[in-house]
Structure 1
Amino acid sequence: MKPLWKAALAAALAAALPAAVLAEAWPARPVKIVVPSPPGGSTDQIGRSIGQKLAELWKQPVVVENRPGAGLTLGADYVAKSPPDGYTLLIGAVHHSIAQTVYKKLPYNFATDLAPISVLAVVPNVLVVSSSNPARSVADLVAQAKAQPGKLTYGSTGAGTAHHLIGENFNDMAGVQTLHVPYKGSSPALVDLMGGQTTMMFDTVPSCLPLIKGGKLRPLAVATARRSSALPDVPTLSEAGLKGFDIATWFGLMAPAGTPRPVIDKVHADVARILADPEMRKQWIDMGAEPVASTPDEMARQIKDEIAKFSALAQKARLSLD
């Protein structure tokens, strides 16, 4: 008869074997990455960039599928309800942490129904206006808003997203009243901003940078505590008078809860390998995104802390959505 410790060890090894074999063989077929926003924005850029590199590494197609809508929550809900086999992944974002705090009813729980793999990048948000707008500074824009209470509008990537919350906190801290206009993503919101349908917008630097360089948008301030390396001459909102304003946007890779940990760890290791490449890092930094390769556990802690932080901010801004 085997000693009890040997029997326990054998049982543990037997239980671990299928997961280990799965991770070693995975992926054996194409992998889908769901981008919960329309093509063209930062979420899409990050998703397609990492998807291309993972496909090269895995020798399997990585299909990027856009599923926009409801403040990026439709795509997240789709992935949360997908089989937990590693073949359907999500480009998660800070927007999802915020949605968990502002929506009264979500068909999924962001903190428990999705498994973190890695934060991919952190990007600053920038306050932009059309180049035809006479405002040259945050003070100019605030003066416009105070002269026309309730008349100025700000676009966002959707109700309950980071850009919605940033806009409401801007209203609160600047003492102004501007109206929120939600879109299904960054691209349509920026089109209307340039066309004069909205007055201003908070969006990520990667989404806005080409339009800023092209002279179609004017940046007034970034919403993070530090200036953006891609826009070094643009002040922070804190420097512009809104002391302590600091909300960044992150993008990360996630899987349905219950995905085998060996698969999660494999994807994380491959992501970390890709983001350590100097050429890849330079490509992302040049477009305004700081590469990150946090561990699954670090990402889980970040999401937990964010939900607590944004819950307090949403309550202060009286932001609640059905």
Structure 2
Amino acid sequence: MKLSTYFSVCRRWSMRGLLAIATLGLAGGGLAADYPTKPIRFLVGVAPGGGTDFMARLVGQKLNDAWGQPVVVDNRIGATGLIAMELLANAPPDGYTLIVFNVGHMMSAHLARKVAFDPVKSFAPVSLMANGTSMLGVHPSIPAKTMRDFVAYAKSHPGKLSYASGGVGGIQHLATELLKREAGIDLVHVPYKGSGPGTLALLSGQVQVFLTNALALLPHTKSGKVTGLAVTGSKRMKAAPDIPTLAEAGFPSVDVSLWQGMFAPAGTPSAIIDKLSSAIATSLRTPEVTRLLEAQGAEPAGSTPAEFGRFVQHERERWLKVVRDAKITAN
């Protein structure tokens, strides 16, 4: 083949390649412009009624109102969210099957001995949706009204106090281990099958300490059955203005966010992910949604996919360090 002929062929193939890439780009944009054309499914790995389920239904209704397509919340309960995550990992990457999960579900995927998906590569971040508040509560038999009192008492009774969690490797477990490390105290871990049994154990005095969703403890702090020592987050709760933040109490590094976010299957077109992210951010900015979330002890977030991806990476690295330091292993 002559050199001139060779370059001519190369140019023709290069043009065909560029046209193919352009066509794919236009097709992706076209898909996003038409999306959605059928009902969307939100997978949720917890039972109806919890904070993550509430978040999925709230945002789902707003997207339904905006797009005129039903959003169906599909509760796939079990294995600390792993069942729902495996379903998402195997779903078509077309934007019609998504998942709303929380920080505890993220960590369960990393702690499980064996999962049928890659906890990092199988999912595409869409948006951070909300940040929830935790509260550190102690049984009234503990003579402590402040974090200073509690830490002093725990140090004088090493290994004598126990704390509840909703399960090994969950955010309550990890957050309390972080607090133990930062405060230099020794507490005994007692895992339960969920936050509800953990709260009951605190109320009955089976355990003396529980760091969990603030809303679960708030009614009991008002009745005197639990002493609320501190809350997570950058500011005090409107519903409990007398309870300081952990940062105010001297533990700024114990910043635990009960966040919830949305993911799509890996490979979902970026144009569809961007459209979802933008619509979620718009829905979270409404006064109605803000009011409803505040009533749940949470704050609306909203983020770009890239911002959420960086946030999740930071959270993953942070909590995996706690896992390593505390030598936590899965059941």
TM-score per shorter chain, which class?
0.7 to 0.9
| 1:123-272 aligned within 5 A | 123-129=132-138, 135-142=144-151, 145=154, 149-209=158-218, 212=221, 217-224=226-233, 226-242=235-251, 244-272=253-281
Letter in 2 for 1:227: R
Which has the larger Rg?
Answer: 2
- After TM superposition, the structure 1 stretch with the greater mean CA deviation from structure 2, 250-259 or 176-185, is 176-185
Alpha-carbon deviation of 1:209? 4.2
After superposition, give the CA deviation of every residue in 1:23-62 in whole Å (9 maximum; x if it has no partner).
3333333222122223333222222222222222232222
Letter in 1 for 2:275: K
Q: Distance in 1 between matches of 2:88 and 2:51?
A: 19
Q: 1:74 aligns with which of 75, 83, 100?
A: 83
Q: 2:286 aligns with which of 273, 277, 280?
A: 277
The unaligned stretches of length 5 or more in structure 2 are: 1-7
CA RMSD of aligned residues (A): 3.1
Alpha-carbon deviation of 1:92? 2.4
Secondary structure of the corresponding residue to residue 243 of structure 2 = coil
- After TM superposition, the structure 1 stretch with the greater mean CA deviation from structure 2, 102-111 or 60-69, is 102-111
Alpha-carbon deviation of 1:256? 1.4
After superposition, give the CA deviation of every residue in 1:85-135 in whole Å (9 maximum; x if it has no partner).
222211122224434554454433332111110000112321124567664
RCO comparison, higher one (Cα < 8 Å, 6+): 1
The residue aligned with 2:4 is none
Alpha-carbon deviation of 1:69? 3.4
Q: Distance in 1 between matches of 2:19 and 2:312?
A: 36
- After TM superposition, the structure 1 stretch with the greater mean CA deviation from structure 2, 310-319 or 136-145, is 136-145
Alpha-carbon deviation of 1:195? 4.3
Secondary structure of the corresponding residue to residue 71 of structure 1 = helix
Letter in 2 for 1:165: L
**What is the TM-score with the length of structure 2 in the denominator?**
0.82
The residue aligned with 1:90 is 99
- After TM superposition, the structure 1 stretch with the greater mean CA deviation from structure 2, 220-229 or 50-59, is 220-229
The residue aligned with 1:122 is 131
Q: 1:13 aligns with which of 15, 22, 26?
A: 22
Q: Distance in 2 between matches of 1:215 and 1:96?
A: 32
- After TM superposition, the structure 1 stretch with the greater mean CA deviation from structure 2, 126-135 or 49-58, is 126-135
Q: Distance in 2 between matches of 1:28 and 1:206?
A: 38
Answer yes or no: is the 8 Å Cα contact 1:71–1:159 preserved in 2: no
**What is the TM-score with the length of structure 1 in the denominator?**
0.84
| 1:38-53 aligned within 5 A | 38-53=47-62
Answer yes or no: is the 8 Å Cα contact 2:82–2:109 preserved in 1: no
Residues matched between the structures, number = 322
Letter in 2 for 1:179: V
After superposition, give the CA deviation of every residue in 1:63-88 in whole Å (9 maximum; x if it has no partner).
22333333333332332222222222
Change (3 A) 1:51 1:186: farther
- After TM superposition, the structure 1 stretch with the greater mean CA deviation from structure 2, 135-144 or 233-242, is 135-144
Change (3 A) 1:44 1:155: farther
Answer yes or no: is the 8 Å Cα contact 1:38–1:66 preserved in 2: yes
Letter in 1 for 2:248: E
Change (3 A) 1:108 1:129: farther
Q: Distance in 1 between matches of 2:91 and 2:220?
A: 36
Answer yes or no: is the 8 Å Cα contact 1:155–1:180 preserved in 2: yes
The residue aligned with 1:310 is 319
